[in-house]
Amino acid sequence: MKNEILSAGEKVHIIHRRYLEKEPHRHFVGTVEAYEGGVARVTGHLFTVDPIRFEFFRRPEVRTRLVSLLSGDVLINIIPSEVDLDTITYQQKAKALRVTDGSKWHLDLSELAWM
């Protein structure tokens, strides 16, 4: 059994909490480099919403972020190790929003009020 809440090498999908209605939606998909004392160092890509087309898109630059799991500002989903983070996209399926890598795997975000 694992003793740590997060381990180096794990893949994560992070949803940043919005405090204002007009604040942009920000999601981050990446790999945990380190975890200590409730803070994760994660490297990956930021996804945000295009305000014209209202679709999520990936920012091209790789970013490294320090994310506090204790702050209450983020929701973190663990992504299976076999998922290819470079092919992650967002798809609208009926009333559901899904994150997928194009394989059978997907993360259904329909329970979250993202619109």
pLDDT in tens, 21-54: 777 778 999 999 999 999 999 999 999 887 777 7
pTM summary value: 0.85
pLDDT tens string 65-114? 999 999 888 999 999 999 999 999 888 877 778 898 988 998 888 655 44
Q: Which of 101, 99, 79 is nearest to 90 (CA)?
A: 99
Overall average pLDDT of the 52-61 stretch: 84
DSSP state of 24: P
Instruction: Give the model's pLDDT for residue 28.
Output: 94
Cα distance between residue 29 and residue 47, in whole Å: 8
- How many other C-beta atoms are found inside a 10 Å radius of the C-beta of residue 88? 22
Contact 63, 44 (CB under 8 A): yes
| Burial class of residue 23 in the structure, from the number of CB atoms within 10 Å of its CB (0-12 exposed, 13-18 middle, 19+ buried) | exposed
Instruction: Give the model's pLDDT for residue 110.
Output: 67
Cα distance between residue 87 and residue 98, in whole Å: 13
What lies within 8 Å, CB to CB, of 13 at 6+ separation is 27, 28, 29, 76, 77, 79, 99, 107
- The two tokens of residue 83 are 């998922």
